[in-house]
Structure 1
Amino acid sequence: MAASSGLEITERIIDKAKSLGACMAGVASVALLKQSPSHLIHPKMGDNTGVGSRKTADGIKPGEVRWPVAAKSAVVIAVEHSEAEPELDWWYGKKSPPGNRILMRINNTLAEWVAETFQIATHKLPYHIEQGGIFLKDAAVMAGLGCIGKSNILVTPEFGPRVRLRAMLLETEIAPTGPIDFDPCENCDQFCRQACPQRAFDQLVFSSAEIGFEQLPGRNGSFSRPTCNIQMKKDIDAADEDTDPQSGEMEKIIKYCRRCELACPVGQ
């Protein structure tokens, strides 16, 4: 590792991630990531987080992140989820969606390559916070992939909000790639919010005085995760059975709502 600088390692990791199928990749400082909005405010949001619904064996509280002590850098990867490939996010029964399996494959292969090439210890992260993950949207922002939009989801310059994310942590400090100066939402017409079938942005749920931070869910505190979850429950109830292309078995196919991200003109 001594023969490579932090910047060179970052560049090579990003190039490798893209060669494995990622459409975007970046690096964030763990020290700065720990101070990002979601990592600070979610433990204060109580039942309104929408986080922590899955049971864990080690008692991680809703919104709480268990950081590996030696972690110094976060590598964030993204794959495009275009409107033309809706099946990437379909759940066949309880099986992980195809897009998530692509992300796991890239992440696993990339972690092995990093360890072998640079002798850097890695921590491949699960998606869910309660199972040892991190807030991926904040990590992506700190890695320079985009910004958090008024839809409360990541918006990237190249693909808008139509991406899916995964991350790993490295036990060494390498050059970060963000954040970047990018904000297409400042004067937009809020197509994302208008498209929401449950009107999840219609009321202020949080205030800066209450939470203690300026950056809030939906930017101004208007995003209600429990209201958004009503639509997700409807999507589950409306799921039809069809053949799983991998197993050949009949499964319920859950197609979760994407109206906010598909309404966004950025990256179209």
Structure 2
Amino acid sequence: MTQSRQIAEELIAEAEKRDDFRAGIAAVQDVLDGPSYKAEAAGNWETGHSENPTPWLENAHSLLVLAMHHPEENPRLDWFDRGNTAGNRHMTKVSKELADWLYNTHGVRAQALPYHVEKGGVYLKDAAVFAGLGVVGKNNLLLDHKWGPRVRLRAVLIQGNLPPGRPLEGFQPCEGCDMPCRSACPADAFAQGQYDRVTCIQRLNSDRANPIDSGQKDSEGSPILVTDWCRRCEFACPVG
């Protein structure tokens, strides 16, 4: 076994020590050459995300891709308040812990990337596919073989080259499916037979304009309001 492969296997094992986490390695160039970077993005979504833009680490050619299970019965992970979600905050913390572990254990530098591409992140669904963590389904979401679309993704940039995973073969969960994900969409974002980003963004903007009570109060005793993003297509998917 080469040293780089050993490092990759140890890093993945370290990540998967955490409950409800899966991990894989993707090559940065594969992701940059992937379908999302070649597509023309429709619509503009101002998320209000609090992460700062991040320049990339030099000579970094690999990505550790993390998938965290987000079950339907734990909606708070995706509630947006104070510029982020609880799930995203946790994944940022884990990403930084793994970057520190990689440097302290193997002397390899790494960098936890922001969630959004516009702030220095990568297209995470593409990265997860190249890392062998799942496939993109008819609902335009990553489908993990165990958890289906009920996952959240992040990436850690790694200096040098680690051997990447391979896209899954033989995993075709949408084949023969009557696509309840598409009929479940309250905005009818699949009306034209494929995902329409502009329509989906309109629904997300509506979610943001109509926050819900989190059941918690701030220091002054006022209710803390949060954005509860639509996940209907996730919940309707039978995979996982």
Considering fraction of residues, name the structure with more strand: 2
Pick aligned residue for 1:254 from 204, 220, 227: 227
Aligned to 1:80: 69
Letter in 1 for 2:9: E
Pick aligned residue for 1:241 from 213, 220, 229: 213
Distance 1:34-1:242 versus aligned 2 partners, 3 A rule? closer
Q: Which moved more, 1:141-150 or 1:228-237?
A: 228-237
Pick aligned residue for 1:97 from 85, 95, 112: 85
**Structure 1 residue 135, shift from structure 2 partner:** 0.3
Aligned to 1:214: none
Measure, in 2, the Cα distance between the counterparts of 1:244 and 1:77: 30
Measure, in 2, the Cα distance between the counterparts of 1:246 and 1:113: 35
Letter in 2 for 1:128: H
Asked if 2 retains the 8 angstrom alpha-carbon contact of 1:21 and 1:106, the reply is: no
Letter in 2 for 1:32: D
Aligned to 1:38: 36
Pick aligned residue for 1:137 from 118, 122, 125: 125
Measure, in 2, the Cα distance between the counterparts of 1:257 and 1:55: 17
Letter in 2 for 1:194: S
1:160-186 Cα distance to aligned partner (Å, 9 max, x none): 000001101111111212211122112
Measure, in 2, the Cα distance between the counterparts of 1:80 and 1:114: 23
**Structure 1 residue 200, shift from structure 2 partner:** 0.5
Asked if 1 retains the 8 angstrom alpha-carbon contact of 2:49 and 2:84, the reply is: no
Aligned to 1:227: 199
**Structure 1 residue 32, shift from structure 2 partner:** 1.5
Alignment identity in percent? Answer: 38
Measure, in 2, the Cα distance between the counterparts of 1:235 and 1:168: 29
Q: Which moved more, 1:98-107 or 1:68-77?
A: 68-77
Aligned length: 237
**Structure 1 residue 78, shift from structure 2 partner:** 1.2
Measure, in 2, the Cα distance between the counterparts of 1:52 and 1:91: 13
Distance 1:148-1:242 versus aligned 2 partners, 3 A rule? closer
**Structure 1 residue 53, shift from structure 2 partner:** 6.5
Aligned to 1:209: none
Letter in 2 for 1:35: D
Distance 1:35-1:246 versus aligned 2 partners, 3 A rule? farther
Letter in 2 for 1:169: L
Letter in 1 for 2:192: Q
RMSD: 2.7
1:181-221 Cα distance to aligned partner (Å, 9 max, x none): 122112211111111011101126xxxxxxxxxxxxxxxxx
Aligned to 1:194: 183
Measure, in 1, the Cα distance between the counterparts of 2:34 and 2:55: 15
**Structure 1 residue 69, shift from structure 2 partner:** 4.6
Measure, in 1, the Cα distance between the counterparts of 2:135 and 2:218: 35
Distance 1:118-1:246 versus aligned 2 partners, 3 A rule? farther
Distance 1:124-1:246 versus aligned 2 partners, 3 A rule? farther
Ranges in structure 2 where 5+ consecutive residues have no aligned partner: none
Distance 1:72-1:87 versus aligned 2 partners, 3 A rule? same
